[in-house]
Amino acid sequence: MSAEYATFGLAPAMRAGGVLVNGDYQVHRDFVDFIVDGRPLLFQLSDLDAVSPLASDVPPSIFTAQVRSLLLETEAPLPGGRYVIYGCPECEDLACGAVTAVIEKEGTDYIWRDFAWQTDERADLELNGYHGIGPFRFRGTDYRAALDSLLTSATASPRRRVLLIGARVALLAKLAAALRTIGIGADIAHDADGVPADELRGYGAVAFGRAIGEEERAAVRRAFDRAGVEVTYVNGLAPIVPLLVAQIEHALDRSPEEQRRLTRLVAADGEAGVEVTSPCRVRLTAYRLDRLFRTHAQEVFDGVLEAGRHRIALDARAVKGEAFVVARTAGSVLVEAMAH
């Protein structure tokens, strides 16, 4: 085994939730990802829709147990000294498939090796091994310091709650219901006046409807400023629930920008410009409002893109008139209005 060291770190990451074109829901998950040699380990594997076991929405005792497990302070959960590195974002069932690896100590170093895709108790390295990934040797001091920081950090969990401010109560109710379904808390209000600072601190984003004027928006911003709360403000592009959900998902993304897979979306003149940092599946969905303000949605692209910038022609009928494009990978989502 090579004695060359890899660097080990941790960073916040997100599995983007959403309302899909077919009406299905995709659950939002916040988790801590493993950063190996400066890049998310998840990006070095095949294009997976998966999360690490260090998810923010698990009970504190389970989160602590996961950290202790990665520090080899408890027995390996799978035969052969194997540990789950990434699992299904919807459940904890190994049958859904998981990326596992052997974690062991050699002196003070920690070693991750023999990565595999596993669906039952035993891993078949010949059939399902990730050949060419690892082994990774981490300095024990750096490895322990990174994981120990999760146990001692006073940083609060991601604020997965959104304040919705708009004039169309029925639309806001549908939006709030959709957000709650995918795991994001949502409250509806006319403004933020008189709301205690402790309550405002629970929000990660504020979404404004199109009918809310600049004076009303400024008043909301002042209320959050007085409470010393930094939130992301979302200007709703159109009264289309899946589109607004996508905007809010983007606003709640706390992963470092330099470690995101989907980094750019431009929509103009019947084309979409997309930039990704590693090979991944990208889905483009077009939404538009017709002259009677009816909503139309169409999936206009679904395929694997290599790292780099890409220009994708869009169906002219799908982006006619007032239209918007949503680009989605497993980990992130971007939204742009179509410029004509």
Burial group, residue 8, by CB count within 10 angstroms (0-12, 13-18, 19+): buried
- Across the 340 residues of the chain, what is the mean pLDDT of every consecutive 10-residue run? 82 92 90 95 87 89 93 93 93 86 96 94 87 93 95 66 93 96 93 86 94 94 92 95 97 90 95 95 95 93 96 94 94 92
- Shared domain for 28 and 98, answered yes or no, is yes
CATH of the domain at 322: 2.60.40.3110
- Shared domain for 179 and 223, answered yes or no, is yes
Within a domain: 2: no
How are beta strands 185-189 and 161-165 bridged, if at all? parallel
Which segments within 185-317 are labelled E, that is strand? 185-189, 205-208, 232-235, 262-268, 271-276, 280-289, 295-305, 308-313
Tokens of 228: 């010393």
Distance CA 48, CA 279 (A): 11
Which one of 154, 188, 211 terminates a domain? 154
- Shared domain for 191 and 242, answered yes or no, is yes
Which one of 131, 154, 177 terminates a domain? 154
Within a domain: 1: no
Which one of 125, 154, 183 terminates a domain? 154
Position 191 scores a pLDDT of 83
Distance CA 329, CA 334 (A): 9
Closest C-alpha among 145, 144, 98 to residue 123: 98
Within a domain: 265: yes
- Shared domain for 57 and 108, answered yes or no, is yes
Within a domain: 252: yes
The domain of 264 spans: 161-337
Within a domain: 213: yes
- Shared domain for 18 and 109, answered yes or no, is yes
Position 153 scores a pLDDT of 65
Q: How far is CA 302 from the centre of its chain?
A: 19
Q: How many separate domains does the chain show? A: 2
